[in-house]
Amino acid sequence: MDTAYRVVGVVGAGAMGRGIGQIAAQAGSTVKLFDVAPGAAAKAREAVYAQWAKLHEKGRLDTPALHAQREALTEVAALADLADCDLVIEAVVERLDVKQRLFAELETIVRPDAVLASNTSSLSITAIAAALQHPGRFAGYHFFNPVPLMKVVEVIAGLKTDAAVCAGLTQFARAMGHTPVQAADTPGFIVNHAGRGYGTEALRIVSESVADFATIDRILKDQVGFKLGPFELMDLTGLDVSHPVMESIYRQYYDEPRYRPSALAAQRVAGGVVGRKVGEGFYRYVDGVAQVPAEPPVPQVDQIPPVWVSPRAARRAELFQLLKDLGARIETGQSPSMEALTLVAPLGFDITTVAVVERLDPARTIGIDMLLDDAATKRRVLATNPATRVDMRDAAHALFARDGKAVSVVRDSGGFVTQRVVATIVNIAADICQQSICTPRDLELAVTLGLGYPAGPLALGDRCGPTNILEVLFNLQTVYGDARYRPSPWLRRRGAIGLSLLHEET
């Protein structure tokens, strides 16, 4: 067995503790499950046995291995039964006082050389260890649910944690088939910290009446490649789970604007409209299936007017080629004719601001999001301003849907939808690097494995262009006047010189 932890104790027999016990037993350790609730540990053990039995039936686990793993996983009746453990992992309720009392008691039970670890997702490792006589042997060991499938674990050192403890936990994670990442003891560690941008910015967008839940979900799935839209994801996890995490990280960072939660989410939690498990969240569920409103149909337009493109449009050459491919009549004069549909493609600015600055007729001005290469997306996004005429909106929609690609039309928004969400995600990730919470490599690993993003946030920033992300953020600050969008110094420096966000400093 490739680990020094021959006997492992797991305190807490919920889904998380059960999963940790399962993979530790599979790695060859003797695992002792304990829970204060009568019968909970035995129930957890039987649930794991049932999973192994199914694997055995499918031929994915041979008989000797099945017997060995069953013998390795047992339940115990008292905390004192963990006295011979080399490692004890806690997976109980997320309350500092409860965890402190538990570890203070464990310290009197286990050997002096035993390692103690907490699976906390949001509490300070240093704060939990403050109640210990020997905090050097204590660390964070944060797994994700379901543990056997989520192959990442955060290893977190408190202020007084011995380096050898984290090295041992890292080795053990690999023995269990997981990918360990090293995180500093900061609110949210890596994954829950990096994940703040996706949901909070989407909530901010919908609270501005830019678009509805389904439209925002469609845009972020089809333009960026997320598996679930932010509202689908929050319905799946439950707002009663995700909103308190938003609030916790916001408060722990002393009301940092980048992590500001949403009043819209708080209201839904108060009303019990928290997601799929109760049949209603951002969507209604019938037999577990989301009732998603149909997309608006493509307007029927008799004649599409000529199109004039702003000289300041992002990806202007690509936009011209796209218009040619769609069969548009393109005007090339210095200013649009009185009949022309006026097309702008800003980064970070709203359509109103662009129309005013470029002295365009707002009634005929429509925006298109060109942050990403059109060929790499499954959806185009257009934005109106408050004065845009209905006929111009419909003409633009019909034109950009000519080749069959999906089109969403949203109300005016600085950075539309994709730019705002992507720039927020990248900016938060950059600041994680600025704070030295982890290395860029561990950040990318943690996010792709822990959140299932289509790419790590730094790779996503490189795909869009660090300079473009920086421009989006600067312009969002101008539009909204909100410190939420101020660029991290780490991003600002790299964006200014065009350096890859994945570049490791020497």
Catalytic residue positions, numbered: 121, 142, 154, 192
Cβ-count burial 388-399 (b if 16+ within 10 Å, e if not): bbeebbbbbbbb
**Identity of residue 404:** G
* Three-state DSSP state, 383: strand
DSSP code of residue 503? P
- How many beta carbons lie within 10 A of that of residue 112, not counting itself? 8
Q: Smallest Cα–Cα separation from 242: which of 225, 217, 262? A: 262
Contact assessment for residue 408 and residue 215, using Cβ atoms and an 8 Å cutoff: yes
Amino acid letter at 239?
L
C-alpha 104/C-alpha 15 separation (Å) is 24
Q: What angle do CA 80, 119, 117 make, to 5 degrees?
A: 50
Under 8 Å CB-to-CB from 230, ≥6 apart: which residues?
198, 199, 202, 203, 216, 217, 220, 421
DSSP-based three-state secondary structure for 285: strand
Candidates 260, 236, 264, 235; CA nearest to 249 is: 260
DSSP E strands, 301-452:
307-309, 330-331, 341-344, 365-368, 379-383, 406-410
Contact criterion met (CB below 8 Å) for 447 and 198? no
Q: Residue 197 burial by CB count (10 A; 0-12/13-18/19+): exposed, middle or buried?
A: buried
CA distance 453 to 229: 11
DSSP conformation class of 364: G
Q: Which of 333, 337, 504, 480 lies closest to 419, judged by CA?
A: 480
Structure tokens at 64: 């000797």
Q: Give CA angle at 394 (393, 397), nearest 5°.
A: 90
Distance CA(23)–CA(148), nearest Å, equals: 6
- Torsion angle (degrees, nearest 10) of CA 315, 319, 320, 325: 140
